[in-house]
Amino acid sequence: MTSDLRVPAARSFEAGADAYEAHRPPYPDALFDDILSRVGGSPLARILDIGAGTGRATIALASRGANVDALEPSNDMLGVLTRRVRQEGLDDRVTVRKAVFEDLSLDARYDAIVAAQSFHWTDPDTRWSRLASLLGSDGRAFLFWNAWSLDADHHDLDAVATIYAAHAPELPPDLPRDLVSRMWADGQIDAHPDVRLADRITYGWDVRMSAADYIRLLATISQYAITPAAQREGLFTALEPALGEEVHLRGTTLLLVVAKA
């Protein structure tokens, strides 16, 4: 049975796949090299990409020789993903399926499972046992997230915080925060008998973009997508001039490597 978890995930991204692909910061190349090096190099027998989106992880891994099963519930994201796979000539290495993690048969086995900014969409009651069941005996899961913050050397962070407090206090502004220490997934992994944390790796990066493109980036984030349109536009209207012409972001990619216990 198809999980109802498809509904919030798909709806929040249904109309913004091209913007997502155009404006979201990319993942570091070293991340994908590290993933392949930890599961025996390439080509691999099978990799599962959960919530593949526009295919950033799928394309990167398939172009390095891996065979990828890509699951994605959003029609809009699927359209971009399918187009990118075709453009890159990777049809023979990538299988695209409209589905969520919970749709997958537990009879399947994978050498690696990846979830790029997507594992929080899975069912918390079954995500870790399902992950362990789908991994081969020596398999690994690679869960990773990008986080970024406005660079304090180039932006008035107090002014940004004030704008958010006035227009959208429920939304977290892009102020410096810690992604390296424990997060929600750590406690769940520690508490679950079927999985263990095998490694934690972080990658640093910087990116610059116009203020207008930064606003477009914010609009691709699910919390903003479900915020009432008038409130969101009021925030963006106040925020853009406060940022200046160019936005400087400092970013971190966190990778959690998960193994069967």
pLDDT for 127-168, tens place per residue? 999 999 999 888 999 999 999 999 999 999 999 999 999 999
pLDDT for 103-128, tens place per residue? 999 999 999 999 999 999 999 999 99
Tokens (6 digits) for 138: 């020596």
The span from the CA of 227 to the CA of 49, in Å, is 28
Superfamily of domain 6-150+176-207+248-260: Vaccinia Virus protein VP39 (3.40.50.150)
| β 47-50/246-260 pair status | unpaired
Torsion (CA) 228, 231, 236, 241 in degrees, nearest 10 = 180
Sequence-distant (6+) residues with CB within 8 A of 2 are 99, 100, 102, 103
Answer yes or no: pTM beyond 0.85: yes
The span from the CA of 129 to the CA of 12, in Å, is 26
> Quick check: bond before 173 cis, omega within 30?
no
The span from the CA of 120 to the CA of 9, in Å, is 10
Tokens (6 digits) for 71: 């699951």
| β 110-116/47-50 pair status | parallel
When computed from its CA atoms, the radius of gyration of the chain, rounded to whole angstroms, is 19
Q: Quick one: pLDDT at residue 5?
A: 40
Whether residue 20 is predicted with pLDDT greater than 80 in this model: the reply is no
Beta-bridge partner residues of 199: 257
Do the Cβ atoms of 112 and 47 come closer than 8 Å? yes
Tokens (6 digits) for 20: 């997502």
pLDDT for 224-243, tens place per residue? 988 999 999 999 999 999 99
Determine the 3-state secondary structure of 236 from DSSP.
Answer: helix
Determine the 3-state secondary structure of 210 from DSSP.
Answer: strand
Q: Quick one: pLDDT at residue 6?
A: 41
- What totals of helices (H) and strands (E) does the chain contain, helices first? 11, 7
